[in-house]
Amino acid sequence: MLNEKVAELLNIQVNKEFYSAYLYLDFSNYYIGQGLEGFGNWYKIQAQEERDHAMLFMQYLQNNGCKVTLEAIDKPDKELKEFADPLHAGYEHEQVVTGLIHTIYEAAHEVKDFRTMQFLDWFVKEQGEEEANAEGLIRKYELFGSDPRALYMLDSELGARVYSAPSLVL
């Protein structure tokens, strides 16, 4: 049985991951509305990944005999006026999620819950990748976004992204 505090933090994370998916769907809708289908595709796939992260946390809780409580998902509240707004908001959001994962890891470490720490190792690595990807999008946009042809090529590159389910074994 999981420590009560660790289980509570994991359960909160389920809902945070679903919020992340919701946020990225909002970003996708924004870009599609602006005619940047590739950017929209990139964030739609990002939303699928976040949904899968939520499902992994749920499964881990269930595998450990813990009840999962799904809460209401907050409406995304980011004001999106410029093409770069979702990129910056996404990067900031990934930094917040990294902090949440670290908080759970720290709580598991305090009670010597090595199984949960091992489970979280994948997410720690994943968050490093998520932050790097988000920061990379900002850099690319800053380099190419002001040139319509380059923006078209970047949008095409992002449109080629395909979904790949996580390979974490519970």
pTM over 0.85: yes
What span, in angstroms and rounded, lies between the C-alpha atoms of 53 and 159?
A: 22
What is the structure's pLDDT at 112? 97
Three-state SS across 20-46?
HHHHHHHHHHHHHHCCCHHHHHHHHHH
| For residue 167, pLDDT beyond 80 | no
Single-letter code of the amino acid located at 66: C
Predicted confidence (pLDDT) per residue in 8-24, tens digit: 999 999 999 999 999 99
How many percent of the chain have pLDDT more than 70? 98
| For residue 147, pLDDT beyond 80 | yes
145 and 35 in contact (C-beta within 8 Å)?
Answer: no
Residue 32 has φ and ψ, to the nearest 5°, of: -60, -40
